[in-house]
Amino acid sequence: MPKLHQYDYIFAIGLIFAALDAYNIGANDVANSFSTSVAARSLTMRQACVLAAIFEFLGAVLVGAKVTGTIKNGIIALSMFRGNYGIEMLAFTCAIVTSASWLMIATKNSWPVSTTYALVSALAGVGVAVAGPKGVQWGWNGGKGLATIFAGFGIAPAISAGFASVIYLITKYAVLDRKNSVRKAMYLSPFYFFTVIAVLTMSIVYKGSPGLKLDKLSGTTQAIAICLTAFVVALLAIVFWLPYVYCKVIKKDWSLRWYHMVLGPLLWKRPVPELPADMSAPTGTDYRVYGRDEAEHEHPHAHEAPNPNSESAVAEVAIAVADTHVTDADPSSSNEKIKDVEAGKPEIETTPTARRASVPLEEVEKKDEIVGSWILPRNLLILAKRGLRMLGKGSNYDVHAAQMKDEKTAAHLREIHKLAHQYDNDTEHLYTYLQVLTACVNSFAHGANDVSNAVGPLSAIYFIWSEGRSLEASTPTPTWILAFGGAWIVIGLATYGYKIMAALGNRLTLHSPSRGFSMQFGSSLCVLLASQYGIPVSSTMCLAGATMGVGLCSGGIKAVNWKAFGWIILGWVLTVPVAGTAAGCLLGLFINAPHW
C-alpha cells in the first residue's frame, strides 16, 4: 500500500505523462529502428509494427533495468532534496512532463529528435531549479554523469558510422561487386547470421535479466552460451534457409511458399512445376528506388507488378467493366442507351456496383454520424470503427509516396539516388532476410536502452510514493513499469510512427536491403555496446551516423542529403535548451507559487 497518499495526484500525473513520453518515444525513436527496412522495401509498415511490438517489448522487459538506473540516479544529486519527498516526486514529474510535451511537438512536426537528450536535459533543468548549478552531475561521475551522456553527441554517430561503413564495404567487395553475386551472398549469409545472433545473445547474457540472472554466470559459460546459440542459428540457416532462397531466387520456383522452408534439404532437388498457360509468372519486389523509366532502361529484366491502386490500373479496370457491360447486355438495350445519351437523357445503370456508386456521399457520411447518446449500441459500434481506423492508419501509411509528394523534393532526391550504384535485384532480395534480422536486433536494443527515458522518472516517483522514503541509488525498477513503458512504445509506433518514417529513409540517402542491413547492424552494435556499460545513447544519433557512413561509402559526399541531416542535427541541439529551460521553469513555478 502507498504510504504518501497526500501525493496521489503527483503519482497520477507522472503515470499519465510517462505513458505519453513512451508513446512519443515509440512514434519518434522506434521509427529509427525500422525506417531503413521500410525505406528499402524489405518490410511493409504493418510488418514493421508487428515486429516492433514483439522486440521492443522484450528488450524493455528483459534487459532494460540497468540503463534505467543510470537515468534516474546519475544525472542529478539525490542528496539535494534533503528528505523532502514531495519536492523529489515533483521534480521527476516536471522532468517527464516537459520531455513528453517536447517530444509530442517534435513528432507532430516530423522532427526526429533525441528522446534521450530530451529527458537528460529536463532532469538537468529541475536539478538547477532545486539546488542551482551544483544540483547537477556535470562531470563524468563514474560514467553516469551529464558529461558521459553528452559525449555521445559526437561519439555515438562516429562509432556507428565506422561500424556500418566496415560492414557495408565488406558486403560490397565480397558480394555486391562480384560476378554471380547471388551465389556469393548465399555463401556469406551464414556468417552474417552467426554474427548478428551472437550480438543479440551477447546483449541478453551480458545485461542479464533480474529473473534469469544470466549476468552472474562465469565468463567461460557466457562465451560458450553466446557462440553455441549463434552456431545453432547459423546451422539452421544453412539447413533450412539456404535451400529455400535457392529455389526462390535462383530456380525461380513460382509455386514456393514460405511454409516450404520446413522441407529443408529436400528443396535442393525439388522440381519446378510447369507454369499453367492461364497464369503469368509472379514478380517480386523491385528494390530500386529511382524512376521506373530509368530502371527499365538500365535493368530491362527488372519488373514489378502494377499497383492496383494507381490511376492507370483504376482506368484499366473501369474500361474492362464498361466493356463487360456493353458486351454482356442485350444489344437493343445498348442501342437504346446510346440514343438516350445522344438525346441528352441521363443514363441509368441498374447493376449493383452502379447502385452503390450512385449513393450520394452525404448519405454515406451520415451512416457514421453519432445520433443521440454515445452510449447507444449503434453509436458505440461507430466509435469502435473510428478507433480501429485511427489505429490502423499508421500501419497502412505509404511512406514512399509521402517522401516523393513534393515535386521539388522528389527531383532533388532522384539526383542524390542516381549517384549510388544499384545492384542486382536478386542479390538485394537475399539481404532482406538479414535486414529484418538486424532490424529486430536494433529494436531489441532500442527497447533495452530507451525505455529508461520514460520509466526512469516514473520508477523514481513510484518508489517514493509507495515506500514513503527518499530515493536510493540502488532502487530497483519494477517489472510492471518496464512492461508499461514497452507497451506504450509499441502503441506509439503503430499509430504515429509514420510521421518520422516519412522524414527518414530515402530522404537521407539511397536505401536498399544490403545498405539498410549495414546501417541497422552498425547502429545496433553501438547501441548495445553503450547499453552494456549503462550509458544511455541516442538511437537517433546512432542510426543517423550509420546512414551517413553507408551513404558516403555508397556514392560519395554528394550521395547524402546534407540539408536533411542539418535539420536533424538542429533538432538535437534545440532539444537541450528547450527541454532544460522548460523543466526548470515549470518546477520553479510550482515550488515558489503563492499558496494559502
Higher pLDDT, 461 or 438: 461
Q: Among residues 382, 412, 442, which one ends one of the domains?
A: 412
Higher pLDDT, 527 or 187: 187
Instruction: Give the per-residue pLDDT at 528.
Output: 73
Same structural domain, 177 and 95? yes
Instruction: Give the per-residue pLDDT at 547.
Output: 92
Placement of cell 522452408 in the chain: 261
Residue 373: how many other CB atoms lie within 10 Å? 8
Alpha helices of 172-210 — where are they, by DSSP H? 181-207
CA atoms of 520 and 532, how far apart (whole Å):
18
- Cell numbers linked to 114: 533525441
Same structural domain, 441 and 585? yes
Same structural domain, 117 and 96? yes
Instruction: Give the per-residue pLDDT at 548.
Output: 93
Same structural domain, 393 and 423? no
Same structural domain, 371 and 482? no
- 244 belongs to a structural domain: no
Same structural domain, 389 and 474? no
Which whole number is the average pLDDT over 270-288? 80
For residue 560, the cross-strand partners are: 509
Instruction: Give the per-residue pLDDT at 207.
Output: 60
Q: How confident is the model at residue 335 (pLDDT cuts 50, 70, 90)?
A: very low
- 316 belongs to a structural domain: no
Taking 80 as the threshold, does the pLDDT of residue 118 lie above it?
A: yes
Same structural domain, 358 and 469? no
CA atoms of 476 and 479, how far apart (whole Å):
9
Which whole number is the average pLDDT over 527-551? 80
Higher pLDDT, 530 or 271: 271
Which whole number is the average pLDDT over 313-332? 40
Instruction: Give the per-residue pLDDT at 162.
Output: 93
Sign of CA dihedral 102, 104, 109, 115: positive
CA atoms of 584 and 596, how far apart (whole Å):
23
- Cell numbers linked to 285: 519486389
Q: Give helix 30-39 / helix 8-28 axis angle, nearest 10°.
A: 20
Q: Among residues 352, 384, 412, which one ends one of the domains?
A: 412
- 219 belongs to a structural domain: yes
Q: Which candidate, 199, 194, 183, places its Cα nearest to that of 242?
A: 183
Taking 90 as the threshold, does the pLDDT of residue 98 lie above it?
A: yes
Same structural domain, 447 and 521? yes
Instruction: Give the per-residue pLDDT at 139.
Output: 76
- State the chain's mean pLDDT as an integer: 79
Instruction: Give the per-residue pLDDT at 99.
Output: 93
Q: pLDDT tens digits for 13-57? A: 999 999 999 999 888 888 777 888 888 888 888 888 888 888 888
Taking 90 as the threshold, does the pLDDT of residue 584 lie above it?
A: yes
Instruction: Give the per-residue pLDDT at 546.
Output: 92
pTM across the whole model: 0.77
- 488 belongs to a structural domain: yes
Collapse the DSSP code of 368 into the 3-class scheme (helix H, G, I; strand E, B; otherwise coil) and give the result. coil
First to last CA, the chain: 30
Alpha-carbon torsion angle 581, 583, 588, 591, nearest 10: 180
- 586 belongs to a structural domain: yes
The DSSP-derived string for 433-500 is: HHHHHHHHHHHHHHHHHHTHHHHHHHHHHHHHHHH-S---TTPPPPHHHHHHHHHHHHHHHHHHTHHH
Instruction: Give the per-residue pLDDT at 298.
Output: 44
Instruction: Give the per-residue pLDDT at 583.
Output: 95
Instruction: Give the per-residue pLDDT at 536.
Output: 63
Instruction: Give the per-residue pLDDT at 111.
Output: 85
Which whole number is the average pLDDT over 225-235? 93
Q: How confident is the model at residue 373 (pLDDT cuts 50, 70, 90)?
A: confident
Which whole number is the average pLDDT over 127-137? 86
Taking 50 as the threshold, does the pLDDT of residue 246 lie above it?
A: yes
Considering only 243-252, 288-297, 543-552, which range has the smallest mean pLDDT? 288-297
Higher pLDDT, 1 or 44: 44
Q: How confident is the model at residue 345 (pLDDT cuts 50, 70, 90)?
A: very low
The DSSP-derived string for 388-447 is: HHHHHHGGG--HHHHHT-SHHHHHHHHHHHHTS----HHHHHHHHHHHHHHHHHHHHHHH
Considering only 268-282, 342-356, 430-444, which range has the smallest mean pLDDT? 342-356
- 284 belongs to a structural domain: no
CA atoms of 497 and 386, how far apart (whole Å):
19
Higher pLDDT, 46 or 586: 586
CA atoms of 42 and 428, how far apart (whole Å):
9
What are the residues whose beta carbons fall under 8 Å from the beta carbon of 307, sequence distance 6 or more?
Answer: 313
Taking 90 as the threshold, does the pLDDT of residue 311 lie above it?
A: no
Sign of CA dihedral 472, 478, 484, 489: positive
Q: How confident is the model at residue 306 (pLDDT cuts 50, 70, 90)?
A: very low
Q: Which of the residue ranges 92-101, 358-367, 385-394 has the most confident prediction, judged by mean pLDDT?
A: 92-101
Taking 70 as the threshold, does the pLDDT of residue 303 lie above it?
A: no
Instruction: Give the per-residue pLDDT at 299.
Output: 43
- 327 belongs to a structural domain: yes
Same structural domain, 400 and 428? no
Considering only 17-26, 61-70, 528-537, which range has the smallest mean pLDDT? 61-70
Alpha-carbon torsion angle 145, 148, 149, 155, nearest 10: 180
Same structural domain, 87 and 19? yes
Higher pLDDT, 267 or 356: 267
Q: How confident is the model at residue 285 (pLDDT cuts 50, 70, 90)?
A: confident
- 279 belongs to a structural domain: no
- Cell numbers linked to 157: 554517430
Range of 580's domain?
Answer: 5-236+413-591
What is the amino acid identity at position 318? A
Taking 80 as the threshold, does the pLDDT of residue 464 lie above it?
A: yes
Same structural domain, 119 and 206? yes
Which whole number is the average pLDDT over 183-204? 86
Q: pLDDT tens digits for 488-501? A: 988 888 888 888 88
Taking 60 as the threshold, does the pLDDT of residue 336 lie above it?
A: no
Which whole number is the average pLDDT over 375-379? 78
For the chain, what percent of residues have pLDDT higher than 90? 24
Same structural domain, 27 and 153? yes
Q: Among residues 412, 439, 464, which one ends one of the domains?
A: 412
* Total of domains in the chain: 2
Q: Answer for the pair 511, 39: CB distance below 8 angstroms, yes or no.
A: yes
